[in-house]
């Protein structure tokens, strides 16, 4: 059997039936401990404990920033050669708070000058639970109001709606909120998709593509219905699978769902040009919706330490306090009950190839402007954005419409363009707001 597994650092961080023991049973003799190789198979929990206790350095010591890469398998030796630098004691402390991810979010957002109190510019913000049905389910929203404005003034404002990608949450936009909320007349809404982040995480019941999409579309529409927002005054910025879902929403439900959408490193736009090798076992894990989230959940008190193997590189270039709080936040949402993330296998084939590419889904129906942003080192193929733009622009020209689509490259960045090059990304969003 091939001794390769998918990597925590490379995969956009799930199955309720898979355990650490199952995962490690693929390679029971291949995982080195700190002093010597294992001489015989051991329990998954014992192996994980030995690997995690091999280092107890503080997070961000001796760490290097790492862009995300294509989700595929890597040698098991590389996976477990990663440092898990969070101390055991701190990991246990985080575990004690595992049932309150909103507290992790609150601590994270508290680094912003306008949360929870007004800043010197007069900006205010709050976290809202926007209830979307009679079962108590809700969308978690972080809203930033311009000076002198409140929820009662939404109809008079322009609106930027920020939507995260697969496995993520609104807190990942920490380094963007301050800059992009600096424009008068703009209200910023960052939401957690249904079943993600700090939104409700009910049992995921969809069984086919339509049901999966309705799961997200219905909850988004329920959130929007409670907001006094003119869609002609709405700019959407959506990342990765969030971008794909929003574009598909426009095709399926409302071609005029916003005035313009920023497709930030969007996923599932076209199929891969070349077949990506996927080992048989990796394919089986993918199709059972098993991902590295399971390591976090099954590691128990060591879950935060597991996450530190990823976060210590992902947030390495940020100030220490922000990086630490983002790590805690990431742990908080990664270990929460699996829900919306189970959409992955419905939309992407093993190796992250699109099952239903956006370019094949009547994109010509959209009536909003579009801009497609890719990192210069992105594993997403910018050809998809260019092909979609050509279709939209040609059809708009022939029909005499003023619709436009273009492609932008964010320098020195990969898939997570909003974090890889914070300054250029923020400036680019502000440019879109200024010419809105």
Alpha-carbon separation of residue 361 from 39, 221, 331 (angstroms): 53, 21, 35
Strands 369-375, 405-410: pairing is parallel
Nearest to 76 by CA among 256, 282, 250, 265: 282
Asked if 46 and 31 count as a contact pair (C-beta separation under 8 A), the reply is no
- 240 in catalytic set: yes
Alpha-carbon separation of residue 393 from 360, 363, 380, 385, 406 (angstroms): 16, 11, 22, 12, 9
- 304 in catalytic set: no
Exactly one of 378, 416, 420, 428 is catalytic; name it.
Answer: 378
Exactly one of 63, 87, 91, 240 is catalytic; name it.
Answer: 240
**Cα 292 to Cα 407: distance, rounded to the nearest angstrom:** 32
Q: Where are the alpha helices (DSSP H) in 234-343?
A: 241-252, 280-287, 293-298, 303-314, 320-334
Residue 19 exposure: Cα atoms within 13 Å on the Cβ side:
8
Please name the residues in contact with 319: beta carbons below 8 A apart, sequence gap of 6 or more: none
| Backbone phi, psi, residue 371, to 5° | -135, 135
Through-space distance between the first and last CA atoms of the chain, rounded to whole angstroms = 55
Q: Which two tokens stand for residue 436?
A: 């809105």
Q: 159: which strand partners?
A: 187, 234
Q: Which two tokens stand for residue 138?
A: 């809700």
Asked if 106 and 127 count as a contact pair (C-beta separation under 8 A), the reply is yes
**Cα 269 to Cα 387: distance, rounded to the nearest angstrom:** 9
**Cα 62 to Cα 66: distance, rounded to the nearest angstrom:** 13
Query: In sequence order, what DSSP letters do the residues of 108-147 get, joined into one string?
Result: HHTTSTTSSS--TT--EEEEEEEE-STTS-EEEEEEEEPT
- 415 in catalytic set: yes
Q: What is the largest CA-CA distance in the chain?
A: 72
Q: Is the dihedral of CA 173, 178, 179, 185 positive or negative?
A: positive
Exactly one of 164, 415, 416, 428 is catalytic; name it.
Answer: 415
Q: Which residues are catalytic?
A: 240, 378, 415
């Amino acid at each position: 059997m091939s001794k390769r597994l998918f990597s925590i650092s490379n995969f956009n961080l799930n199955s309720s039936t898979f355990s650490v023991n199952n995962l490690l049973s693929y390679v029971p003799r291949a995982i080195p401990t700190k002093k010597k190789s294992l001489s015989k198979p051991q329990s998954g929990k014992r192996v994980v404990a030995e690997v995690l206790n091999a280092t107890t350095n503080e997070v961000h010591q001796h760490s290097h920033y790492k862009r995300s890469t294509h989700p595929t398998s890597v040698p098991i030796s590389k996976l477990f050669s990663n440092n898990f630098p969070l101390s055991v004691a701190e990991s246990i402390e985080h575990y004690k708070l595992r049932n309150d991810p909103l507290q992790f979010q609150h601590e994270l957002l508290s680094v912003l000058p306008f949360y929870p109190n007004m800043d010197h510019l007069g900006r205010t913000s709050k976290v809202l639970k926007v209830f979307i049905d009679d079962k108590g389910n809700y969308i978690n929203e972080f809203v930033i109001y311009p000076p002198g404005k409140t929820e009662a003034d939404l109809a008079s404002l322009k609106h930027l709606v920020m939507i995260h990608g697969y496995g993520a949450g609104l807190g990942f936009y920490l380094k963007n909120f301050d800059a992009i909320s600096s424009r008068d007349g703009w209200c910023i809404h960052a939401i957690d998709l249904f079943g993600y982040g700090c939104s409700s995480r009910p049992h995921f019941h969809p069984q086919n593509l339509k049901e999966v999409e309705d799961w997200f579309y219905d909850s988004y529409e329920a959130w929007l219905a409670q907001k006094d927002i003119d869609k002609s005054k709405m700019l959407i910025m959506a990342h990765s699978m969030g971008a794909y879902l929003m574009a598909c929403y426009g095709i399926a439900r409302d071609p005029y769902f916003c005035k313009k959408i920023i497709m930030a490193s969007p996923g599932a736009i076209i199929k891969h040009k070349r077949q990506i090798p996927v080992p048989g076992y990796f394919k089986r894990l993918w199709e059972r919706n098993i991902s590295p989230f399971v390591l976090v959940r099954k590691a128990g008190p060591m879950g935060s330490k597991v996450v530190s193997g990823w976060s210590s590189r992902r947030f390495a270039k940020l100030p220490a306090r922000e990086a630490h709080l983002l790590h805690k936040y990431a742990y908080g949402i990664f270990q929460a009950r699996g829900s919306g993330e189970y959409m992955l296998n419905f939309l992407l084939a093993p190796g992250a190839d699109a099952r239903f590419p956006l370019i094949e889904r009547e994109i010509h129906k959209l009536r909003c402007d579009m801009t497609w942003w890719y990192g210069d080192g992105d594993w997403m193929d910018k050809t998809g954005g260019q092909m979609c733009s050509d279709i939209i622009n040609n059809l708009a020209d022939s029909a005499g419409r003023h619709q436009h689509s273009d492609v932008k490259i964010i320098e020195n960045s990969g898939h997570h363009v909003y974090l890889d090059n914070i300054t250029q990304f923020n400036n680019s969003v502000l440019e879109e707001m200024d010419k809105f």
